[in-house]
């Protein structure tokens, strides 16, 4: 199994290039996150959510941010989305600094209530296309229909969100995001609130969508198994405040080999990384 694991983030990035993956030195990252420190100012004190986190996402990656609850995964995603300004470090998308939200970065959340309850499924999918004016108005209807077809919800185009199961609502949210043809799809634990069987089905659907569209994904989860199934590369983060522990190549792990010993070995190695305490603490 050609897994790349090291304990040090800087070495890992060097490793990644050296180990002869398809990437070359010439390839520039689609998204580069450089020494990102994120903080929240509350009434009494400052909370450091992440400490100097760096990573690079390349076109077509399924890049996972993996770490325990509270380690700053959502904060990182919000910063990439342009909703949270870093106190230190920077973010570039296609070599342009990220300073605000934009239609090139669409977000899918964990919550089932992210759809507009008073609009039909199809109108929900069409809505960001309408307000962003990203596409000519006459194309929007057809684009919404195509996107719903991709997640197998054509029959539910005229239904309202309250008529759908949790899994179906998440598929609508994914269709809505994909319809915008974002440069990168940001997903914050999108399946965490689903039952185990639906969750597994959704993970496989995401892989199918990726195979069909090639959309670059930045996917947050606290489940090692989900990270290995969905991801091509995994950034392992330490507990609060989040720092990079390692980067892992997950290309050899898939839904079809979950029970295999290489998959289980990789699972254990990541588990050890998540629970090891060798990293220096941020102040």
Residue 40 sits in the site that holds ligand ADP (CB under 6 A): yes
Residue 40: name its binding partner from Mg ion, ligand ADP, none (Cβ under 5 to 8 Å by kind). Answer: ligand ADP
**By the rule CB under 5 A, 50 interacts with Mg ion:** no
Q: Confirm or reject binding of residue 193 to ligand ADP (CB under 6 A).
A: no
Q: Is residue 83 near ligand ADP by the rule CB under 6 A?
A: no
Paired residues of 217 in beta bridges: 62, 185
Residues 6+ apart with CB under 8 A from 186: 77, 80, 81, 105, 106, 107, 108, 218
Residue 72 binds which entry of ligand ADP, Mg ion, none, CB below 5-8 Å type-dependent: ligand ADP
Tell me if the bond preceding 241 is cis, omega within 30° of 0. yes
Q: By CB neighbour count within 10 A (0-12 exposed, 13-18 middle, 19+ buried), where does 100 fall?
A: exposed
Is residue 89 within the footprint of ligand ADP (CB under 6 A)? no
203 binds Mg ion (CB under 5 A): no
Got the DSSP string for 126-171?
A: HHHHHHHT-S-HHHHHHHHHHHHHHTT-GGGTTS-GGGS-HHHHHH
Q: Which residue stretch of 62-70, 155-163, 211-219, 262-270 sits at the interface with ligand ADP (rule: CB under 6 A)?
A: 62-70
In the complex, what is the shortest distance from the CB of residue 139 to Mg ion, in angstroms, rounded to a whole number?
A: 34
CA–CA dist 31, 95 (Å, integer): 8
169 touches ligand ADP (CB under 6 A): no
Q: Does the footprint of ligand ADP cover residue 159 (CB under 6 A)?
A: no
What backbone torsions phi and psi does residue 46 show, to the nearest 5 degrees?
-100, 130
Alpha carbon of 95 to those of 31, 41, 92: distances in Å?
Answer: 8, 29, 5
Instruction: Write the binding mask 55 to 94 for Mg ion: x where contact by CB under 5 A, - elsewhere.
Output: -------------------x--------------------
Q: How far is the CB of 74 from Mg ion (least distance, A)?
A: 3
- In the complex, minimum distance from the CB of residue 261 to Mg ion, in angstroms, rounded to a whole number: 31
Q: Can residue 245 be called a binding residue for ligand ADP (CB under 6 A)?
A: no
- Residue 259: strand, helix, or coil: coil
Cβ nearer to ligand ADP, comparing 75 with 216 = 75
Unique residue bearing structure tokens 């899994």: 167
Among 21, 29, 52, 70, binds ligand ADP (CB under 6 A): 70
Neighbours of 113 (CB within 10 A): 9
The contact set with Mg ion (CB under 5 A) reads 74
Residues found near ligand ADP in the complex (CB under 6 A): 40, 42, 47, 49, 67, 69-75, 240
């Amino acid at each position: 199994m050609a897994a790349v694991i090291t304990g040090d983030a800087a070495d890992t990035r060097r490793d990644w290039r050296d180990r002869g993956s398809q990437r070359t030195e010439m390839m520039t990252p689609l998204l580069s996150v450089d020494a990102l420190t994120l903080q929240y100012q509350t009434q009494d004190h400052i909370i450091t959510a992440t400490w100097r986190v760096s990573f690079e996402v390349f076109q077509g990656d399924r890049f996972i941010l993996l770490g325990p609850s509270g380690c700053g995964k959502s904060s990182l995603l919000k910063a990439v989305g342009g909703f949270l300004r870093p106190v230190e470090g920077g973010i570039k998308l296609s070599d342009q600094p990220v300073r605000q939200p934009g239609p090139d970065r669409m977000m899918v959340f964990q919550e089932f209530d992210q759809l507009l309850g008073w609009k039909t499924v199809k109108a929900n999918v069409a809505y960001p296309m309408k307000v962003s004016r990203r596409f000519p108005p006459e194309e929007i209807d057809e684009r919404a229909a195509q996107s719903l077809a991709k997640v197998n919800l054509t029959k539910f185009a005229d239904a309202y969100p309250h008529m759908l199961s949790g899994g179906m609502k998440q598929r609508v949210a994914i269709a809505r995001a994909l319809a915008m043809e974002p440069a990168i799809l940001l997903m914050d634990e999108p399946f965490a609130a689903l039952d185990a069987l639906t969750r597994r089905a959704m993970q496989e659907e995401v892989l199918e969508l990726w195979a069909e569209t090639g959309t670059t994904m930045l996917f947050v989860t606290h489940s090692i198994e989900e990270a290995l199934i969905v991801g091509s590369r995994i950034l392992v983060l330490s507990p609060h405040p989040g720092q990079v522990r390692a980067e892992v190549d997950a290309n050899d792990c898939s839904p079809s080999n979950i029970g295999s010993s290489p998959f289980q070995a990789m699972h254990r190695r990541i588990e050890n990384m998540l629970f090891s305490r060798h990293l220096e603490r941020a102040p």
